[in-house]
């Protein structure tokens, strides 16, 4: 009896602690998602968490001062005297209400009372803004309107797809061929070649960038899709070969022998037997390679450089962080657009993703 109660107690503690950790892990992404739907002017003035009910000052009425009020002199409002600085940051009047400039130029003051409040302005404008290249207008906090050119991210989205799909399929195809040879064919240097593959698993790719860039410049491959496919293929191969090898080498030997007896060639065995049998392994390593290429920044930065037609999303967003540092309405929407694909893949294929992780790192 005592023991069960103790057990329930500890289970509750475990659940509470874990829920707390999960909350911390979720908050950054939730904040981004909420912000990406808020109007520009709201984002810059209030935190995204104000979309939840909270106590705040809520506008009650507006006092219009005479047009000729001198802001450098003390300002009289309802029999009390304040100065401009106080009204800028908000000041509490004797009756408990808060006074703050509503429009300083038009000399209007807002009277606020504390109350429950929800900031529930949501908009799709931010997504329109980043996806299209059109010019659109945004309201600013002082009531003026500013024209702003969009980002045209949809082109970059397409580029990222063109870079990512072949960069996922090609290395897996090449690696599966190689893994089959390593696992089931006999040829000279087989062992040392495979050891080299294992060693390359951890070689930092920075080591390879400069010489490859020189070759690419000589071959005219810089800034082309082909060049970036080749680069991603090369960098993805060690892990993919290793992963496919561990899978293919564990397939039953009789399978091949009977096929051989029937006169099938290696190529036939490969396309008719190995590829179909490897689908689960290909799926899990494929998700990995896909996410890796989709999320890559360094390789694109080096091999695509400043070619605007071919730029992928990670480059565009990184550039936006530099050039539009506090346009949070655009940054958050752009970041979420870039996360859309990986998150979809992640939630749809989570099972395979995890299996890929387990196969690659803790075999045996």
With binding defined as CB under 8 A, does residue 331 bind other proteins?
yes
Out of 9, 47, 115, 120, the only residue in the binding site for other proteins (CB under 8 A) is: 47
Going by C-alpha positions, the residue among 250, 248, 270, 249 that lies closest to residue 259 is 270
Instruction: Tell me the closest approach of the beta carbon of residue 63 to other proteins, in angstroms.
Output: 22
Comparing CB distances to other proteins, the nearer of 26 and 58 is 26
With binding defined as CB under 8 A, does residue 17 bind other proteins?
yes
Residues in 77-96 at the binding interface with other proteins, rule: CB under 8 A: 89
Out of 145, 147, 185, 261, the only residue in the binding site for other proteins (CB under 8 A) is: 185
Provide the β-strand partners of residue 98.
Answer: 92, 112
Residues in 308-327 at the binding interface with other proteins, rule: CB under 8 A: 314, 317-318, 321-322, 326
Residue 338 DSSP SS3: helix
Going by C-alpha positions, the residue among 235, 227, 236 that lies closest to residue 162 is 227
- DSSP secondary structure, 164-179, as one string: HHHHHHHHHHHHHHHH
With binding defined as CB under 8 A, does residue 304 bind other proteins?
no
With binding defined as CB under 8 A, does residue 332 bind other proteins?
yes
Out of 212, 248, 282, 304, the only residue in the binding site for other proteins (CB under 8 A) is: 212
With binding defined as CB under 8 A, does residue 196 bind other proteins?
yes
Q: Which residues contact 71 (CB under 8 A, 6 or more apart)?
A: 84, 104
Q: Which stretch binds other proteins (CB under 8 A): 118-126, 134-142, 251-259, 265-273?
A: 265-273
Comparing CB distances to other proteins, the nearer of 125 and 236 is 236
HEC string of 3-25 equals HHHHHHHHHHHHHHHHHHHHHHH
360 with 239: CB under 8 angstroms?
yes
CA distance 229 to 166: 7
CA–centroid distance for 150 within its chain: 20
With binding defined as CB under 8 A, does residue 22 bind other proteins?
yes
Beta strands in 20-126 (DSSP E): 54-64, 75-77, 80-82, 91-92, 98-103, 108-117
Going by C-alpha positions, the residue among 194, 192, 198 that lies closest to residue 183 is 194
Q: Which stretch binds other proteins (CB under 8 A): 102-110, 121-129, 142-150, 334-342?
A: 334-342
Residue with tokens 């209030």: 46
With binding defined as CB under 8 A, does residue 272 bind other proteins?
no
Comparing CB distances to other proteins, the nearer of 200 and 259 is 200
Out of 77, 200, 273, 283, the only residue in the binding site for other proteins (CB under 8 A) is: 200
With binding defined as CB under 8 A, does residue 203 bind other proteins?
yes
Instruction: Tell me the closest approach of the beta carbon of residue 61 to other proteins, in angstroms.
Output: 22
């Amino acid at each position: 009896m005592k023991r069960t109660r103790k057990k329930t107690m500890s289970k509750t503690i475990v659940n509470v602690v874990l829920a707390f950790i999960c909350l911390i892990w979720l908050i950054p992404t939730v904040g981004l998602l909420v912000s990406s739907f808020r109007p520009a002017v709201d984002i810059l003035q209030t935190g995204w968490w104000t979309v939840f009910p909270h106590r705040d000052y809520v506008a009650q009425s507006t006092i219009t001062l005479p047009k000729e009020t001198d802001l450098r002199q003390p300002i009289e409002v309802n029999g009390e005297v304040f100065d401009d600085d106080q009204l800028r940051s908000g000041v509490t009047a004797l009756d408990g209400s808060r006074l703050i400039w509503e429009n300083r130029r038009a000399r209007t003051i807002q009277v606020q009372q504390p109350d429950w409040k929800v900031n529930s302005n949501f908009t799709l404008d931010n997504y329109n803004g980043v996806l299209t290249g059109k010019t659109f207008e945004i309201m600013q906090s002082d009531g003026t309107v500013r024209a702003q050119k969009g980002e045209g991210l949809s082109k970059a989205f397409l580029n990222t797809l063109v870079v990512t799909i072949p960069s996922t399929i090609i290395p897996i195809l090449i690696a599966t061929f190689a893994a089959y040879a390593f696992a089931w064919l006999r040829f000279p240097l087989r062992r040392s070649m495979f050891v080299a593959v294992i060693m390359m698993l951890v070689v930092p790719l920075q080591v390879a960038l400069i010489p490859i860039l020189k070759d690419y410049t000589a071959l005219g491959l810089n800034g082309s899709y082909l060049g970036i496919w080749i680069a991603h293929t090369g960098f993805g191969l060690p892990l993919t070969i290793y992963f496919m090898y561990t899978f293919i080498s564990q397939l039953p030997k009789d399978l091949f022998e009977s096929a051989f007896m029937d006169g099938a060639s290696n190529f036939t065995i490969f396309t008719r037997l190995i590829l179909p049998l490897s689908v689960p392994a290909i799926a899990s390593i494929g998700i990995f390679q896909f996410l890796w290429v989709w999320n890559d920044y360094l390789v694109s930065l080096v091999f695509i450089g400043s070619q605007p037609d071919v730029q992928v999303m990670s480059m565009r967003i990184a550039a936006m962080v530099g050039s539009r540092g506090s346009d949070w309405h655009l940054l958050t929407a752009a970041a979420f657009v870039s996360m859309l694909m990986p998150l979809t893949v992640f939630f749809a294929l989570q099972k395979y993703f995890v299996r890929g992780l387990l196969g690659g790192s803790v075999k045996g």
